A and B are shown apart, each in its own frame.
Chain A
Amino acid sequence: MSALLELKNISAGYDDKTILQGVNLQVNPKDFVGIIGPNGGGKTTLLKVLLELLPPFDGKVIKQTGLRIGYLPQINSIDKKFPISVKEVILSGQLSKSLWNKKHEKTSNKVDELLKFVGLEKYKHSAIGDLSGGQMQRVFLCRALISNPHLLILDEPNTYVDKTFEANLYNLLGDLNKDMAILLVSHDVGTIASMVKTIACVNGGLHYHASNKITNEVLKSYNCPIEIISHGTIPHRVLKDHKHE
């Protein structure tokens, strides 16, 4: 089974400031990778390199041909007063190539299907700004899914999701993981530990750990900050087997 995506010896940053150095990462089909790390440790930079929004200073991004990536950004980067409907936001996730040669009805069905999947059927024609933060995030999840991605990237998905939907979201991700690889970035180790199959910590470099067990040793040896290590002492977050397997 060949890797969906591979980062080889990546250095990246902005202007003359290097944030990531010597990062190697491999994402295989149906992986569920959790990425943790302190603020400013380079999580967002890593995502930008993965999405080819930021050319790295050094190193290589190798993608499987035809790889489709769906991405759920942090919604504070979105202009909430922009005049655009929920339906249009979801459609904007389609690959640009599909713009010219698709059957309109089919895509429209797909939008309905996705909205039902996240429980927002009623809001198809609402303006995005009329939704709550949690609802908005679910719409962006639909946008990430409409292209039937091989890899779904989520940036801090638990920041805005309303508590009632949170459990749903995790079940949903478990379902999605049967068909696609997921890469989830979070500063909340608790979230990550209960979901992922593998975990990596970004703090300047990327420390990749091919196991879902988070222990004090793991966190310490990967230079994660104190506040995250303290999370690791909570017993139920040290897992043996993965429940989504």
Chain B
Amino acid sequence: MNDFIELLSFSFFKNALLAAILTSTVAGIVGTYIVARRNVFISGGITHASFGGMGIAYFFGLSPLLGAALFAIASALGIEWSSKKAGLREDSAIAIIWSLGMAIGIIFVFLTPGYTPNLMGFLFGDILTVKITDLILLAVLAVIIVVLTIIYYQPILFTAFDSEYAQTVGYKSTLIRYIISIVIAISIVLSIKIMGIILVLSLFTIPPSAANLFSKSFKSIIWYSVIISLTGSIAGLLFAYLFDLPSGATIIFTLTGIYVLLRILKTIIRN
């Protein structure tokens, strides 16, 4: 405990803790939507495609985060559009965008002369090097998502459940879905700093899946997900610090551990 208090006196650790809290809030809310809508594979495509933008940004010396965000949004909208309008099957569209983005990223990183700093961090996550600007961006995103979810809870829930019916009673289903796609893309990209491209999706999917073991209400799943994700992130963060491991990986381990514990607990309660 004393060690923990001592840790808190380091600003890098305080930043990491803050990042964990903000990311958990974002991932809990957005993840509940992704899991409920069965959009996990789409989100995987978006995440990996964002590596293309990151690679291009590296090559031209621009902000990797900005590059990733633009690519993520473009691929989110691209998947939605190509499956609706271009007659391509959705899973095929996702697979193409997923691998094309990675390929673009690999080529541009390869072409970038010299050492590419933080590349490992982007692939596997590094919560301990989180910067103030990252925190500000995350905080703004978290506030926007919380406010939008409170104000537009019903339209979000109703269009997610049955977008055709929602449209027949006057909700702009397509518009709402496009906006949510953009929000998902941005949420994923801003969480990449902490979890890494390869692992970030689990932060969005394990907590809602665990919450879903005990609740079938969208609202409660959001709350439980945020709590589970917060617990897992903070514990994972401590492991990452103590054993000097990539934070993304340790957070996945703690989250999976929580999921397994809850699953066992559920079986015990049932019996």
Using CB atoms and an 8 Å cutoff, list the residues of chain A in contact with chain B.
15, 51-53, 69, 71, 73, 77-79, 82-85, 88-89, 91-97, 99, 127, 129-130, 143, 147
Contact = CB atoms under 8 A, between A and B. Distances in A.
B87 A15 contact: yes
A53 B161 CA distance: 16
Contacts, number: 67
Contacts of A95: 169-170
B270 interface: no
Contacts of A143: 165
Contacts of A77: 164
B161 A89 contact: yes
Given A15-B87, A89-B161, A99-B155, A83 B168 contact: no
B178 to A, nearest CB: 17
B104 to A, nearest CB: 31
B218 interface: yes
B77 interface: no
B118 interface: no
Nearest to A51: B168
Nearest to B162: A78
A91 B157 CA distance: 11
21 contacts: A51-B168, A52-B168, A53-B167, A69-B168, A71-B168, A73-B164, A77-B164, A79-B161, A82-B160, A83-B212, A83-B216, A84-B157, A84-B217, A85-B217, A88-B218, A92-B169, A96-B166, A96-B169, A99-B155, A127-B216, A147-B169
A130 B170 contact: no
B38 interface: yes
B150 to A, nearest CB: 13
Contacts of A88: 157-158, 161, 218
B216 A73 contact: no
Interface of B: 32, 36, 38, 87, 154-155, 157-158, 160-162, 164-171, 212, 215-218, 221
A68 to B, nearest CB: 9
B121 to A, nearest CB: 35
Given A84-B217, A91-B154, 18 more contacts: A15-B87, A71-B168, A79-B38, A82-B161, A83-B212, A84-B157, A89-B161, A92-B162, A92-B165, A93-B169, A94-B169, A95-B169, A96-B155, A96-B166, A96-B171, A127-B216, A129-B216, A130-B216
B172 to A, nearest CB: 8
B84 to A, nearest CB: 12
A10 B104 CA distance: 47
A34 B123 CA distance: 59
A168 B169 CA distance: 27
A84 B165 contact: no
Contact of B165 (A15, A93, A129): A93
Contacts of A82: 36, 160-161
Contacts of B217: 83-85, 127
